[in-house]
Structure 1
């Protein structure tokens, strides 16, 4: 069993593969997962396509190369990239699958 810093849900994998095909992402590019900011306001997560940079952690999930800057790893460990497609919104999100889901109001 491979343990990666960040996992990707099946729904997100499907969407990423669709983007790669539709946008014709060039060979040699992979999915970059990272953060912006790490100050008082917390961090913002980011996704994009990029080439590998020196010092990146690199791994593959379902044929998709994933790159993470080593200094971002501590903010990302244990998170899962998911994709939400609802009537109100659609997009990628970062979730911690180890956190309990809040009770739903009845």
Structure 2
């Protein structure tokens, strides 16, 4: 498991596979971007995960920022309430592959693993 550089346990953990895949996607875009992770209303279980690249200049003062050897993972303060302790993993399996979210705060998750309550 890749640990963020921070004196305390990071609120969002990334597996080595997830970090490698995110960095490869970012490199294809040819820009120095950070990854914003959050939640929004919706999905079959009530809340759905969201993540997208964004410019580091969009990082707000109250965002949680986790540094993975120079790559920043950012989360807004409301989302971190639902995501603290989240592990983001990636699998390239043909069935069930893609990003997987393991959230210790989720009471219930949907079958696809992309939403929770």
TM-score (norm 2): 0.70
Number of residues of Structure 1 aligned to a counterpart in Structure 2: 95
Going from structure 1 to structure 2, the CA distance change for 1:39 and 1:9 (only over 3 Å counts) comes to closer
Bigger strand fraction: 1
SS at match of 1:75: helix
Counterpart residue number, 1:58: 65
Q: Residue 46 of structure 1: CA displacement?
A: 1.2
State the alpha-carbon separation in 1 of the partners of residues 19 and 25 from structure 2: 10
Kept in 1: contact 2:37–2:74 (CA 8 A): yes
Larger Rg: 1
The one-character-per-residue Cα deviations of 1:26-55 (angstroms, maximum 9, x if unpaired) are 33x311010111799421111111231342
Unaligned runs of 5+ in 2: 1-6, 105-117
Which ranges of structure 1 fall in alignment gaps of 5 or more residues? Answer: 98-106
Deviation at 1:69, TM superposition (A): 0.3
After the TM superposition, which residues 2-81 of structure 1 pair with which residues of structure 2 at under 5 Å, given as runs?
2-24=8-30, 26-27=31-32, 29-37=33-41, 41-50=45-54, 51-81=58-88
**TM-score (ref. length: structure 1):** 0.77
CA RMSD of aligned residues (A): 2.3
Runs (4+) off by over 4 Å: none
